[in-house]
């Protein structure tokens, strides 16, 4: 099981592509878009191909054996 990467969410949501770039999992927005389009990303265990998918506190995003856990800012 990979070590989860915590991501503090300051707003109500973040779009999936923005999250992948902001968390450092993908180095560019273009790389993040390709990963999502090719079905390499899962949100809460389900493959997600929508680049604009809204990710909220409590959700988990998986890509390339890494897991990003969305947390509240406090």
Query: How many domains is the chain partitioned into structurally?
Result: 1
Pairing of strands 46-47, 66-71: unpaired
* Residue 1 pLDDT level (bands cut at 50, 70, 90): low
**What is the mean pLDDT of the segment spanning 44-50?**
97
Average confidence score pLDDT of the chain = 95
Q: How many angstroms separate the Cα of 1 from the Cα of each of 26, 37, 47, 64, 67? A: 20, 25, 18, 12, 9
Three-state secondary-structure class, residue 22? helix
* Beta-ladder partners of 43: 46, 61
Question: Does residue 73 register a pLDDT over 90?
Answer: no
The CATH number linked to 37 is: 3.10.290.10
Instruction: Tell me which residue has tokens 């998918």.
Output: 53
46: containing domain:
5-71
Question: Does residue 74 register a pLDDT over 90?
Answer: no
């Amino acid at each position: 099981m990979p070590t989860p990467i915590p991501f503090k969410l300051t707003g109500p949501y973040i779009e999936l592509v923005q999250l992948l770039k902001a968390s450092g999992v993908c180095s560019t927005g273009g790389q993040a878009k390709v990963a999502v389009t090719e079905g390499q990303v899962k949100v809460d265990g389900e493959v997600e191909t929508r680049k604009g998918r809204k990710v909220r506190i409590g959700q988990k995003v998986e890509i390339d054996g890494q897991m990003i856990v969305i947390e509240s800012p406090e």
